[in-house]
Amino acid sequence: MTKTFVVFDAGSGRIVSVHHHAGDAAQAQRRAKLLARDKKGPTDVLEVAAGQLKRGVSYNIDTAQRKLREVAKGEMGVSFAFGATGSTAR
């Protein structure tokens, strides 16, 4: 089963990268962190259950609770694609 790993800015909760991986969670987290290492500031990785993601909804990370959260219209967030590409919403 494919898992989704979200790399995010540990201070702001802004999502900087998303990785889908079918293997071991630790391996996927290492890969996600490696790919995010050139981002400014500290990053963290959160595993997200596929059932949490909704079409047409933008998200960021609540850093205090380490949870994916839906953003209100006008807030910075990322939407997840259910095909070949994704988008960033504002």
- DSSP state for residue 51 in the 8-state scheme: G
Q: Return per-residue pLDDT of the chain as tens, 90 residues.
A: 667 888 888 888 888 877 776 666 677 667 767 766 666 677 788 888 767 788 888 999 999 999 999 998 888 888 876 554 444 555
Which residues, in sequence order, are CB contacts of 21 under 8 Å at separation 6+?
2, 3, 5, 27, 28, 31
Rounded to two decimals, what is the model's pTM?
Answer: 0.71
Closest CA relative to residue 20, chosen from 1, 36, 5: 5
Indicate the burial class of 76 (C-beta count within 10 angstroms; 0-12, 13-18, 19 or more). middle
